[in-house]
Structure formats: C-alpha cells, structure tokens
C-alpha cells in the first residue's frame, strides 16, 4: 500500500482545469502501488485513477510506460488507458511531481490463485505480448541478467545478515546464471512484474493488467518465468507443477513457445527469482523503520531460488503435458 | 490514512454471498478513516464502501452509528446509507472483525476551507441536527466534559514532555471548564467529529457528511463549537472570525441558536479544543513508531486552547453580525 503524496482539492482542481473531464465528484487515495501514489478520481466524465510518480520511477521512462498503456488499450488489451489533456499531453505535474490520469480499469486481483486463475493469467500475458507487437518505443531491462552481479556487490553483507553463508550461494547462482543465460530467444515488450496483484479478474476470467512501471524489452519467455515464480508457488514454498503447466498452457493457447523458449524456462525462472530476491534484499535494508510501506520479505525469493537451484523436475516447464 | 485489515478476494466473496449485490467488479483499499479500514467496493449493484471496524471502535456502539446513518439517509440528509444483507443485518463480520457495507457517497472534502465553505458546513451541520431529531437510539458522549479530567490524569507527563509547564496550564483550564460548563442547553444527536475531512462538497455546496463513529448525544451547540475549532483556524494558528461568523450564520439559517447557546459558544469551543487536545496527546504517546498511521499533532490543539484561554473577541461568536 502506498499514498506518499497528499493532493489537496485545490491542487486537484488546478490539474483538472487542463482536461475536458468536468468537475471532480469524488477523490480518494487508494492503497495500491509501491512506487507511486494512486487516487480514485471520479469526475462528470467518468472514473479514473490519478497516479503520482514518486522518486523510484525515472521520469524519462514515463513516456514509454504511458505510451505502452495507450498502445495496448488501443489494441483491445485491457490496460488502463492514459487520458490526454486538452493539449494532448498525458504526462502532467501535480505538487511538483510527475503524474498521469488513466481510465479506471475494473476487476479484482486474487490473493491465492487457483490453477484456473493461472491458466487465465497465462493467456492474459500472451495477449499482452501479442498486443505489444509493433509498439515503437524502446526501454532496456535495467533489472535484467547483466545487472544482477553489480546489484549484488553492495548487498553481500545484507545477504549474510539474512542467512549466514547466503552470499557465497548467491555468488554461485550468479555465476551459473551468467554461464547458462540463454540468448537468441524471441524478444519483445514484457510486463516484467506480472504478479497476482497486478492482474485483474472478473467472474474468474482474465480482465486486465495494471502497473506497467517495470515494462521493458527482453525475452518474452522471461516474462513467463517471472509469472511462474509469482503465481505457481504455494504458501509453504513448494512449487505447484500443475499450476505452472496451466499457466504455460494458457500462454501457449495464445502464443506458442518455441522449443528453445520452453527449454530455457528453468534457467529463466531461476534468474527471475534472482531479480526479485535482489531488489527485495535491497529494499529490506533501505526502507526506514518509520516508512508507511512494509518492504517485502526477501526470504520468500531466497526460498524460490533454492527450489530452482536444486530442482530437476522443473524441466517439466518444457513439457506441459 | 489507514488500511489496517487486508481483505482477500475469497473473504470478500464469502461476505458478499450474504447480500443481493451481485458479483464484485472492483475492490480497493482506500486511505480514509483512522479507527477503521475502508474499501471501495464496486459490484453489479453499484458502488459501496466496505468499512471494517478496528479495535478502537466499540462493537456495542455500532448499532447506534449504523442506525443513525440509516436514519439520516432515510430523512434526506446526505450520509452513506448502510446496506442490509438478505437477512436484514447491516452489521456483519469479515476476518473476525465487525464490518458494514454502506452506499458510496460522492463528494470531495476541502483541505483549506474558504469562508463560503464554512457557511455551507454550518448549514450542513444544522441540517444533520434537524434530520437526527426523533432518532430512537441513545449514546452518551464518553469524550464529553466529565471525561476530560480523568483522561488527563495519566497524561500529565506527556503534556510536560510536549511543553514544560503545560500540565499546570491544562489543569487550570480543566478547572475553569468544570466551573463554567453550561447546562440546560438543547441536547440532541451530534456528529462530534465534524472536521473538513469528514464533510463533502460538490461544486462548492455542502454534499454530505461521513464518519459518524463519534456521534453521541450532547449539547447541539457543542457540535458547532467542535466545528468552529476544526474549520475556522488559519494555518498560522490564528482564529478567523469571519469564517466563524459564516459557519454560525450558515448554521442559524437552518436552526437558529438560542441566546443561551450563543453565549455558551466561547466556553464550548474552549472545551472542544480540550477534547481534541487530550485524545491527540494520548494517541501521540500511544502510537508505535512503526505504525502505518501518523498520529495528529497535539500541539495544534494546544495552540487552539491558548487562543480560547485568552481571547476576549471570541464573544463575537455570540454576535454574528
């Protein structure tokens, strides 16, 4: 949850004066998003979300994110479409911070996805990849495989603090990932943060994705690997092969994976676990005690790393019978 | 802001199964309320707020609060009407905590009320008092004048910590309030927390009141006094007589004050400042450092106390020329 920036009625009125959205009818901070502040905004023209971008989001990346959301919405993919002001601008400023107004996207995220949800989520992810084809802007994955060793360098002590001996294990993982990281897989725009809280359902069916603020260009199968980690582990830390097969099979119903992509899923999933372990480890140490947001537990992803490190049955990714 | 309780999609579905509200379409925690958790809930039947009552609200008081909201809404006062489930119950349970679903009330609260807002707020408060006439349930004001000395007893050290010498000043205030507290003023149901963030406007006109969780029976003019403190002080701590006159005059356009009520406003406002000073002082010490809510500064009300203690021009309350 996060509402870091407080917007007054006066500041809102000043912002809305640039748009053709009529008068505001309701405005409430909502507990959603960790790198931005979000507000439910109802005006005479309908319902919207006002997102205020906090320090963690690089302003220069916002045209990519907002352009992608617009592109996807225009192609029928259910993502919140940014709204332009009268001058055509979607990226605006409020309280000295960048912000955007996007259409309200209905739907509910699920806390404990069922196998059926995993299948739907897989289909939705493939639909996202298909809809993003042809999008003209580019953004490199600054949290991709090449970044992990440099990210870990200042965090070795933090890792040891978490669990003695962990630093050496992570270093070995990083070496193994570097040696085995696949190249030549189909690239495209990936969501890169396709977690259950960023995916909406309606009556059990996929109804949209939100929070495109990690989207970038990378191997499409890496996005599937991120999703496998996020959707297919049980609360006890065990990997649910049935859920994973459902997710991959849902994905393939829309965009079949190549043999190389399927074969790469285990190492991609190991790498995806590394990426979230590293950012959580960083945030764990960096979040001040009094912050109004609770950092996510890096140990959850340390356990996922351990599963991928040792699991041989993960080759089942490549054989969704 | 406060979302203390996290409700999963499964818990929501189980709750909604008791209602005739159709399927949920959207569900978001909102940053509103300090003694409860609030969620925007959209279903096939419309938009609602799900409120989950936290420890601070006494369960035995909830029938009074919810009954009052229903009573007011039925009499045309814009307050969020509780929704009954199929068995007629409005007070329900989710995650082991009491909760209620109320209709979504549109409107925006204002951060810095203008004189015009103060007038509208006064009218709205009188309309609330009028609409509440005849409501059958009773609830004593457990934060009324009789409670202040006992509330302060364990807080003398906290007061000294805030400002050396403050404990003696507060004790003198308490004695003065006890000696001069008016009796025999017209009683009725009061909101008792009629602050700008609990009042909605639409296009500059009063559009409703929320958060009835301090409502009780007390002198109606005491509610006006609470509002004068909440609406008519400038950010620099000075009292805005023009705003105060507008609030009282708006109130009197709907419900004229008696001569006794007018004459009592200065002491009632002094007392109302004491009530909020005391609860803020208590919360200031009681809020753990890592809590996801920031306690309100007791010094704001210490300054208001000082204004009421020394001001002679506050007799102007009684003469809204």
Q: Is A94 helix (H, G, I), strand (E, B) or coil?
A: strand
Distance from CA of B30 to the nearest CA of A (A): 4
Q: What is the per-residue pLDDT across B188-219, written as a single tens digit (0 to 9) for each?
A: 999 999 999 999 999 999 999 999 999 999 99
Average the pLDDT over B7-36 and give the result.
Answer: 91
Q: What is the per-residue pLDDT across A197-230, written as a single tens digit (0 to 9) for each?
A: 999 999 999 999 999 999 999 999 999 999 999 9
B28 and A24 within 8 Å at the Cβ level: the answer is: no
Contact status, residue A275 vs residue A222, Cβ threshold 8 Å: no
Which residues face A140 on adjacent strands? A217
Question: What's the mean pLDDT when you consider all of chain A?
Answer: 92
Q: Would you call B235 an interface residue with chain A, using a CB distance cutoff of 8 Å?
A: no
Q: Would you call B197 an interface residue with chain A, using a CB distance cutoff of 8 Å?
A: no
The model's pTM is 0.86
Give, in order, the Cα–Cα distances in Å from A304 to each of A22, A232, A240, B105.
49, 11, 12, 44
Q: Would you call A149 an interface residue with chain B, using a CB distance cutoff of 8 Å?
A: no
Distance from CA of A201 to the nearest CA of B (A): 9
Distance separating alpha carbons of residues A218 and B148, to the nearest angstrom: 64
Average the pLDDT over A156-175 and give the result.
Answer: 95
Give the model's pLDDT for residue B321.
Answer: 42
Q: How many CB atoms lie within 10 A of CB A88?
A: 6
Q: How many CB atoms lie within 10 A of CB B311?
A: 16
Q: Is the dihedral of CA A145, A223, A80, A2 positive or negative?
A: negative
Q: Would you call A202 an interface residue with chain B, using a CB distance cutoff of 8 Å?
A: yes
Closest C-alpha to A92, from A2, A16, A41? A16
Residue-wise over A135-158: b if at least 16 C-beta within 10 A, else e? beeebebebbbeebbebbeebeeb
For residue B114, the chain A residue with the least C-alpha distance is A10
pLDDT > 90 in chain B, percent? 83
Dihedrals phi, psi of B5, to nearest 5 degrees: -110, 130
Distance separating alpha carbons of residues A304 and A239, to the nearest angstrom: 8
Instruction: For residue A296, give the DSSP letter.
Output: P
Q: Would you call A26 an interface residue with chain B, using a CB distance cutoff of 8 Å?
A: yes
Average the pLDDT over A158-176 and give the result.
Answer: 95
Dihedrals phi, psi of B110, to nearest 5 degrees: -110, 145
What's the token pair of residue B277?
A: 């000073």
Q: Which residues from chain B sit within 8 angstroms of residue A109, using beta carbons?
A: 9
Q: What is the per-residue pLDDT across B229-275, written as a single tens digit (0 to 9) for each?
A: 999 999 898 999 999 999 999 999 999 999 999 999 999 999 999 99
Task: Judge whether residue B31 has pLDDT over 50.
Answer: yes
Give the model's pLDDT for residue A286.
Answer: 67
More confident residue, A128 or A314: A128
Q: What is the per-residue pLDDT across B123-155, written as a single tens digit (0 to 9) for each?
A: 999 999 999 999 999 999 999 999 999 999 999
Task: Judge whether residue B280 has pLDDT over 60.
Answer: yes
A40 and B42 within 8 Å at the Cβ level: the answer is: no
Helices marked H in chain B — which ranges? 9-16, 62-74, 115-132, 145-152, 156-162, 166-180, 220-231, 241-254, 259-286, 298-310
Instruction: For residue B191, give the DSSP letter.
Output: -
Q: Would you call B24 an interface residue with chain A, using a CB distance cutoff of 8 Å?
A: yes
With a cut of 0.85, is the ipTM above it? no
- Going from the N-terminus, what domains does chain A have, and what CATH number goes with each? 9-103 (3.30.200.20), 115-318 (3.90.1200.10)
Task: Judge whether residue A1 has pLDDT over 50.
Answer: no
Give the model's pLDDT for residue A91.
Answer: 95
Give the model's pLDDT for residue A6.
Answer: 84
Distance separating alpha carbons of residues B226 and A158, to the nearest angstrom: 51
Helix (H) or strand (E) holding B52: strand B46-53
B236, exposed or middle or buried, with CB in 10 Å at 0-12, 13-18, 19+? exposed
More confident residue, A67 or A291: A67
Q: Which residues from chain A sit within 8 angstroms of residue B290, using beta carbons?
A: 289-290
């Amino acid at each position: 949850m996060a509402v870091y920036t407080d917007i007054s009625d006066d500041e809102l009125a000043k912002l809305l004066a640039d748009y053709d959205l009529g008068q505001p009818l309701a405005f409430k901070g909502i507990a959603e998003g960790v790198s931005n502040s979000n507000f439910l905004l109802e005006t005479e023209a309908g319902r919207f979300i006002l997102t205020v971008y906090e320090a963690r989001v690089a302003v220069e990346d916002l045209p990519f994110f907002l352009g992608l959301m617009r592109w996807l919405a225009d192609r029928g993919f259910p993502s919140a479409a940014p709204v332009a002001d009268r001058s055509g601008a979607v990226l605006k400023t409020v309280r000295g911070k960048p912000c955007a107004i996007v259409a309200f996207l209905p739907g509910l995220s699920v806390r404990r996805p069922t196998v059926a949800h995993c299948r739907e989520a897989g289909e939705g992810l493939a639909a996202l990849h298909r809809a993003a084809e042809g999008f003209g802007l580019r953004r490199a994955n600054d949290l991709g495989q090449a970044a992990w060793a440099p990210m870990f360098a200042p965090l070795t002590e933090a890792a040891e603090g978490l669990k003695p001996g962990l630093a050496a294990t992570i270093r070995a993982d990083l070496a193994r990932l570097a040696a085995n990281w696949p190249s030549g897989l189909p690239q495209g725009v990936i969501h890169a943060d396709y977690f259950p809280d960023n995916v909406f359902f309606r009556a059990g069916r996929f109804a949209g994705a939100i929070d495109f603020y990690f989207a970038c260009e990378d191997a499409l199968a890496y996005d599937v690997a991120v999703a496998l980690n996020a959707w297919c582990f049980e609360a006890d830390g065990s990997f649910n092969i049935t859920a994973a097969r459902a997710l991959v099979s849902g994905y393939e119903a829309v965009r079949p994976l190549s043999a190389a992509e399927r074969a790469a899923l285990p190492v991609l999933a190991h790498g995806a676990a590394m990426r979230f372990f590293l950012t959580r480890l960083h945030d764990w140490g960096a979040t001040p005690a009094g912050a109004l947001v609770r950092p996510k537990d890096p140990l959850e992803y340390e356990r996922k790393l351990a599963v991928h490190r040792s699991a041989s049955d993960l080759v089942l990714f490549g054989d969704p019978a």
